[in-house]
Structure 1
Amino acid sequence: MLYSSFRIREMELKNRWIMLAMHTGFAEGNEISEREFAFYEARAKGGAAGITLTLAVNEAGGLKGMHQIGNLSLQSLKELAERIHQYDCKLIVQLFHCGRNESLENHEDRPLVAPSPVPSPIFKAEPKEMSEKALAETIEAFAFAGGFCKSAGVDAIEISASAGYLLSEFLSPNTNLRTDAYGYGTNQGMNFPLEVIHAVRENVGGLPVILKVSGAQMMEGGYELEDTISFCRLASKYIDCVTVTGGWHESPIDQISYHVSKGAYAPFAGAIRKYTALPVIACNRIHDGETAERLLEESLCDLVGTARAFLADPQFANRVEQKELFLPCQGCNRCITSVLKGQEIWCGFNPEVGQEYFENQRRKIATRKEVVVVGGGPAGMEAAKKSAERGFMTTLITEESSLGGQFILAAKPPKKDGISEYVAYMEETLKNLGVQIIFGQKCDADFLLSKKPYFTVIATGSQPSSPAIKGIENGIFANDILSGKVSLPPQSEEGQIVIIGGGVVGLETAAFIKETDQERKIKIIEAKTTFGKDLGALSRPLISQLRANGVQLMADTTADALETGKVFISIGEQKFFLQGDAILLATGAKASEYADLTMPLMDERLSYALVGDAENLGDGGDAIKSAYELFKRLYLA
Structure 2
Amino acid sequence: MSTRFPHLLSPLQIGSVTLRNRIVSTGHDTVLPVDCQVSPELIAYHQARAQGGVGLIVLQVSGVHESARYTSHALMATDDGCIAGYRALATAVQAAGARVFAQLFHPGSEIMETADGMQAVAYSASRCASERFHVVARALSTAQIAEIVAGYAAAARRIRAAGVDGVEIVASHGYLPAQFLNPRLNQRSDGYGGDAAARLRFLQEVAAAIRAAVDPDCVVGLRISAGECDAEGLTEDEALAACVAMQPALDYVSLVAGTSATLGGAVHIAPPMAYPAAYLAGQAERFRRQLDIPLLLAGRINQPQEAEQLLAAGVVDACGMTRALICDPELPNKVAQDQADAVRACIGCNQACIGRFHRGLPISCIQNPVSGRELQFGQLTPASSARRVLVVGGGPAGMKAAVIAAQRGHRVTLYEAASQLGGQVLLAQQLPGRAEFGGLLTNLHYELQQAGVQVVLGQTVDRALVQQQEAELLILATGARPAPPRLDISGDLQLLDGWAVLQGARPGSRVVVADWRADWVGPGLAIRLAQSGHRVTLAVNATHMGQALQMYVRDQLAAQLHRLQVTIIPYARLYGVDDDTVYLQHTASEEAMLCEGVDTLVLCQPLQPEDGLRQQLAGLPLPIHAIGDCLAPRTAEEAIYEATRLAWQL
Q: TM over 0.5, yes or no?
A: yes
What secondary structure is seen at the aligned counterpart in 2 of 1:354? coil
- Specify which of 433, 437, 443 is matched with residue 461 of structure 2: 443
Query: 1:72 Cα shift?
Result: 4.6
- Specify which of 71, 86, 107 is matched with residue 98 of structure 1: 107
| Residue in structure 2 matched with residue 377 of structure 1 by the alignment | 395
Answer yes or no: is 1:67 the counterpart of 2:85: no
Partner Cα distance (2:135, 2:256) in 1: 25
| Residue in structure 2 matched with residue 499 of structure 1 by the alignment | 513
1:205-216 → structure 2 map (5 Å cutoff): 205-216=216-227
| Residue in structure 2 matched with residue 16 of structure 1 by the alignment | 22
Q: Is the 8 A contact 1:567 1:583 kept in 2?
A: no
Q: Is the 8 A contact 1:557 1:569 kept in 2?
A: no
Change (3 A) 1:427 1:30: same
| Residue in structure 1 matched with residue 365 of structure 2 by the alignment | 347
| Residue in structure 2 matched with residue 124 of structure 1 by the alignment | 134
Change (3 A) 1:101 1:605: farther
Answer yes or no: is 1:609 the counterpart of 2:605: no
Change (3 A) 1:306 1:501: same
Query: 1:287 Cα shift?
Result: 0.7
Which segment drifts farther, 98-107 or 310-319? 98-107
Answer yes or no: is 1:406 the counterpart of 2:411: no
- Specify which of 24, 48, 51 is matched with residue 42 of structure 1: 48
- Specify which of 634, 638, 642 is matched with residue 618 of structure 1: 634
- Specify which of 505, 524, 546 is matched with residue 532 of structure 1: 546
Q: Is the 8 A contact 2:111 2:120 kept in 1?
A: no
Work out the percentage of aligned pairs sharing the same amino acid. 25
Q: Is the 8 A contact 1:373 1:397 kept in 2?
A: yes
Query: 1:177 Cα shift?
Result: 4.5
Root-mean-square deviation (CA, aligned residues, Å) is 3.0
Partner Cα distance (1:87, 1:188) in 2: 43
Which segment drifts farther, 149-158 or 70-79? 70-79
Q: 1:196 corresponds to which letter in structure 2? A: V
Query: 1:259 Cα shift?
Result: 2.0
Answer yes or no: is 1:509 the counterpart of 2:525: yes
Q: Is the 8 A contact 1:529 1:555 kept in 2?
A: yes
Q: Is the 8 A contact 1:379 1:459 kept in 2?
A: yes
Query: 1:40 Cα shift?
Result: 1.3
Query: 1:332 Cα shift?
Result: 1.8
What secondary structure is seen at the aligned counterpart in 2 of 1:324? helix
Q: 1:356 corresponds to which letter in structure 2? A: E
Answer yes or no: is 1:316 the counterpart of 2:323: no
Query: 1:505 Cα shift?
Result: 1.9
TM-score, normalised to structure 2, is: 0.87
Partner Cα distance (1:271, 1:498) in 2: 46
Query: 1:509 Cα shift?
Result: 2.1
| Residue in structure 2 matched with residue 387 of structure 1 by the alignment | 405
Change (3 A) 1:371 1:127: farther
- Specify which of 158, 168, 189 is matched with residue 158 of structure 1: 168
Q: Is the 8 A contact 2:227 2:258 kept in 1?
A: yes
Change (3 A) 1:452 1:35: farther
Answer yes or no: is 1:307 the counterpart of 2:316: no
| Residue in structure 2 matched with residue 434 of structure 1 by the alignment | 452
Partner Cα distance (1:402, 1:440) in 2: 8
Change (3 A) 1:384 1:175: farther
Q: Is the 8 A contact 2:72 2:113 kept in 1?
A: no
Change (3 A) 1:378 1:72: farther
Answer yes or no: is 1:56 the counterpart of 2:63: yes
What secondary structure is seen at the aligned counterpart in 1 of 2:289? helix
Mark the runs of 5 or more structure 1 residues left unpaired by the alignment: none
Query: 1:187 Cα shift?
Result: 3.9
What secondary structure is seen at the aligned counterpart in 2 of 1:52? strand
Q: 1:442 corresponds to which letter in structure 2? A: T
Q: 1:477 corresponds to which letter in structure 2? A: D
- Specify which of 492, 497, 500 is matched with residue 480 of structure 1: 500
Query: 1:520 Cα shift?
Result: 4.4
1:359-378 → structure 2 map (5 Å cutoff): 359-361=377-379, 363-378=381-396
| Residue in structure 2 matched with residue 584 of structure 1 by the alignment | 602
CA deviations 1:448-503 (Å, max 9, x no partner) are: 34445443322221111232221589422221231x3x4427x7xxx444433374
Q: 2:597 corresponds to which letter in structure 1? A: L
Q: Is the 8 A contact 1:102 1:340 kept in 2?
A: no
Change (3 A) 1:560 1:138: closer
Report how many residues are paired: 622
Q: 1:619 corresponds to which letter in structure 2? A: T
- Specify which of 209, 215, 231 is matched with residue 220 of structure 1: 231
| Residue in structure 1 matched with residue 150 of structure 2 by the alignment | 140
CA deviations 1:494-525 (Å, max 9, x no partner) are: x444433374322212334456xx44444444
Change (3 A) 1:34 1:570: closer
Mark the runs of 5 or more structure 2 residues left unpaired by the alignment: 1-6, 586-590
Partner Cα distance (2:555, 2:329) in 1: 30
Which segment drifts farther, 398-407 or 202-211? 202-211
Q: 1:415 corresponds to which letter in structure 2? A: G
